[in-house]
Amino acid sequence: MINKYHRTQFIKISNNNNPAEFMIDITTMLDARLRLSALKAQFKVYQATGDYYKDVFKFFLYDWSFYVLERGSFENYDDIKKRRDELIVIQNLKYKIETN
pLDDT the model gives residue 70 = 97
Question: In angstroms, what CA-CA distances link 33 with 25, 49, 82, 89?
Answer: 12, 24, 23, 24
d(CA 33, CA 82): 23
Closest CA to 18 of 75, 65, 68: 65
pLDDT of residue 78: 96
Task: Report whether pLDDT(1) > 70.
Answer: no
Q: How confident is the model at residue 100 (pLDDT cuts 50, 70, 90)?
A: low
Domain definitions of the chain by residue range: 8-95
% of the chain surpassing 70 pLDDT: 94
Which residue type sits at 27?
T
In this prediction, residue 3 has a pLDDT band, given cuts at 50, 70 and 90, of confident
Average pLDDT, the chain: 92
**What pLDDT was estimated at residue 4?**
86
How does 8-37 read in b/e, with b if 16+ C-beta sit within 10 Å?
Answer: bbbbbbbbeeeeeebbbbbbeeeebeebbe
Query: What would the pLDDT profile of 29-78 be if each residue is shown by its tens digit?
Result: 999 999 999 999 999 999 999 988 999 999 999 999 999 999 999 999 99
**Taking phi first (over 0 means left), then psi (-120 to 50 degrees means alpha), and beta for anything else, what does residue 57 get?**
alpha
